Amino acid sequence: MGEVVKRAYKYRFYPSPEQAGLLERTFGCVRLVYNRALEARTRAWAFDRQHTSYVQSSAWLTEWKRTEELAFLNEVSSVPLQQTLRHLQAGFVAFWDKRSRYPRFKSKRKSRASAEYTRSAFRWRDGQLTLAKMTSPLDIVWSRPLPEGAVPSTVTVSRDAAGRWFVSLLVEDPAVGPLPPVTGEVGVDAGITSLLTLSRPIPGVSDEQGKVANPRYGQADRRKLAKAQRNLARKQKDSANRAKARLRVARIHARIADRRRDHLHKLTTRLVRETQTVVIEDLSVRNMLRNRRLARVISDAGWSQFRTMLEYKATWYGREVIPVDRWYPSSKTCSTCGQVNTTLALNDRVWTCPGCATEHDRDINAARNILAAGLAER
């Protein structure tokens, strides 16, 4: 029997004024400790060529708490402060392994406001969650049940730009495991007109041609968002009215992101359940976003989010995801005879192969080629 998967369940909650005040102070302290530790570790290397670690930064935190200037750090739970130092250490490890860039400072306005609590910093009793330094449990909206008998190992509290409060509970989920094997592989071509094009139609996922419609949630609310942003731009800096206008803009963005995330979750779950192997292009979305003409529609499509969801769900359910080299000419190669059509333009949505005279839908042909290339690389 395999290892039980740990899964995060995210819920919205409504804190009391006292709880909100404590959490806001905790967020501020977490950000301060992270930035101070990052500055100290950077300085230690720049001036003394000294490597520092989590252990050293934890000792610094103890010293900071003893100073009069930073004595307020003792007013919040120490666990989120220790956890942010662990996150900083993980950031440095990723940088040393050349998996990410150098850790950056957290901004009060732009960084995610969150705090992570381990088991020693919260109480879970009869389905109620009480965090350290709090006298009453959080008022959580249980939009879906936790796995039966589940006990959180880690709790992460956050507040988004729209002012909504969320709690994420990390629990073991015995229901997550390999699904019964199914026959069939599918190639996936990401697009803009159609969100995805599959090498073969899959009922409940695509239409009869194998295409998945692009809902374009950002475009649907573009006028509303533009009006709210113009209103924000007219407000005086640091005024109360500007704060209200900023919140209205954030709520529109949150609505768009929520709808997109929900759609991608449903799409990736169905795709993983219906196929054994999924072959995708290894796209560099970050580089593609540099194209000013396409940046908005690419962001709205959520290709990176789609791939992330697809890969971790495939791992959960015993499926296989194969990435294909992004430079492979999937659109220009005839899936029937293999001839490459070097004259194919970007706006040619349907084309005829000069070698075998087969007529191709550009996207369906690309999906079929992606599938063949992925299976050949196994």
Of the listed 75, 281, 311, 377, which one is catalytic? 281
- Active-site annotation holds for 221: no
- Active-site annotation holds for 207: no
- Active-site annotation holds for 208: no
Of the listed 75, 311, 325, 363, which one is catalytic? 363
Q: 3-state secondary structure string, the chain?
A: CCCCEEEEEEEEECCCHHHHHHHHHHHHHHHHHHHHHHHHHHHHHHHHCCCCCHHHHHHHHHHHHHCCCCHHHHHCCHHHHHHHHHHHHHHHHHHHCCCCCCCCCCCCCCCCEEEEEEHHHEEEECCEEEECCCCCCCCEECCCCCCCCCCCCEEEEEECCCCCEEEEEEEEECCCCCCCCCCCEEEEEECCCEEEEECCCCCCCCCCCCEEECCCHHHHCHHHHHHHHHHHHHCCCCCHHHHHHHHHHHHHHHHHHHHHHHHHHHHHHHHHHHCCEEEEECCCHHHHCCCCCCHHHHHHHCHHHHHHHHHHHHHHHCCEEEEECCCCCCCCECCCCCCECCCCCCCCCEEECCCCCCEEEHHHHHHHHHHHHHHHCC
Of the listed 3, 189, 325, 348, which one is catalytic? 189
The set of catalytic residues is 189, 281, 363
